[in-house]
Amino acid sequence: MRPVGGEPGPKDHGDGQRDDKRGGAAESGDRRLYRKGLPFLRQFDTKVIVNICGGTVADYLEVVERLSGQEIDMLEANISCPNVEHGGIAFGQEPGMVEYITKEIKKKAAQPVSMKLTPNVTDITEIAKAAEAGGADALSLINTITGMRIDVKKRAFCVANKTGGLSGPAIKPVALRMVWQTCRAVSIPVIGMGGIQTAEDALEFIMAGAAAVAVGTANFRNPYAMPEIIGGLEKYMEENGIRDLKEIRGIVS
């Protein structure tokens, strides 16, 4: 909606793990989306999910209203953002706030809404149930895990923001555990993510109960990650006589 600067600091420390992330965009997000993003994505026979965030509930609702007339299949509300009106604690860290913001978004949204949960909580199922109670159509998890690094030569934080969002293969076991717990706690679909790099990783999330999976960091390291994962899933299905991934969804639950 408004241009944002993003977090300062390096993105990659060259050890194969990304340990901070820098959001932000120079042009207002929705204008860039209408001008470039949506026309590009609409060339393909695929579903378009738009991820939104904000610093206040009013921010979220303004974006939701602006997107209501657009050709978008689903909204994904990132509630890992700090709530500037409540001392900066993330929206997604308080069950009461999660239920409230979900309800408010659902009142205004023209598209189905998936609430994107932060793993930086004690009990993910409490948060997941709050989003379900607020009327979420689906849940997406996990977002990044708060991490930190210190440069021992400089005796200083590696990331200017001091802490940053950890993503990629290091977080996969945590993500998988949270997806499994959440799938057992709610009856809405779960989009699983966190460290997926291969078809086998994606299968683990599906067997834990995920209805769909998403891939983030792996795309930075391998631009062919997505087609390779899809191809690997097809191969696994063929080799194991599976016609629909639903046959193995939640099989370990």
CA dihedral 144→227→179→63, nearest 10 degrees, is 60
Interface residue list for ligand FMN (CB under 6 A): 18, 21, 23, 51, 78, 116, 143-144, 167-168, 171, 193-196, 215-218
Give whichever of 51 and 242 is closer to ligand FMN, judged by the CB atom.
51
Give whichever of 54 and 95 is closer to ligand FMN, judged by the CB atom.
54
Tokens matching residue 123: 């009990």
Residue of minimal CB distance from ligand FMN? 216
Task: Judge whether 134 and 96 are in contact, CB under 8 Å.
Answer: no
For residue 78, give the 3-state DSSP assignment: strand
Please confirm, yes or no, whether 158 is among the known catalytic residues. no
For residue 128, give the 3-state DSSP assignment: helix
CB of 118 to ligand FMN, least distance (A): 9
Q: Give Cα 120 to chain centroid, integer Å.
A: 13
Give whichever of 46 and 244 is closer to ligand FMN, judged by the CB atom.
46
CB of 195 to ligand FMN, least distance (A): 4
Give the integer Cα–Cα distance in Å for 107 and 3. 26
- What's the length of the chain? 253
CB of 243 to ligand FMN, least distance (A): 27
| Amino acid letter, residue 244 | D
**Annotated active-site residue in 53, 81, 158, 183:** 81
CB of 78 to ligand FMN, least distance (A): 3
Give whichever of 92 and 134 is closer to ligand FMN, judged by the CB atom.
92
Phi, psi (deg, nearest 5) at residue 83? -85, 105
Question: What are the residue numbers of the active site?
Answer: 81
